[in-house]
Amino acid sequence: PLEIALLMPTFLSSNQMLLLNRAIEELEKEKLERDEEKVRYLGEKMPALQLSGLSLAELQNLCKQLHAKIDIVDEERFDCESKAMSGMEGRKKMFDAAGGGQ
């Protein structure tokens, strides 16, 4: 908050400064809560791997399975990004065609 406070314009009234400081505090609190929720969620959905006692072949098989899952997630992420970009490009073309791009 200090770096943000240093950037605040000096023309704000004291009430505006109080409101702005309160908003900054709330945003930081929300960020911490989101980070804690993310850790909690991942802890529930992705339990720690139990690797002790596994043979080399079992570890290699586990690595192959994890890499396959990573590949699937990467493909899905790429598909989502492609769809999002395609939609944005379509909206840009419509906007330009309507004369909004000049």
What is the model's pTM? 0.43
Residue type, 97: A
Mean of per-residue pLDDT scores for the chain: 84
- Phi, psi angle pair for 13, to nearest 5°: -75, 170
> In the numeric block, which tokens belong to residue 42?
């991942």
Using alpha carbons, select from 2, 58, 61 the residue that is nearest to residue 28: 2
- For the cut 90, the answer to whether the pLDDT of residue 97 exceeds it is no
Of 9-18, 69-78, 79-88, 92-101, which one has max mean pLDDT? 69-78
pLDDT digits (tens, 9 = 90+) for 59-86: 999 999 999 999 999 999 998 888 888 8
Residues 87 and 95 sit within 8 Å (Cβ to Cβ): no
Lowest mean pLDDT among 17-31, 47-61, 86-100: 86-100
Report the alpha-carbon distance of residue 71 to residue 29 in Å, rounded. 35
User: Which residues are CB-neighbours of 49 under 8 A, at least 6 positions away?
Assistant: 62
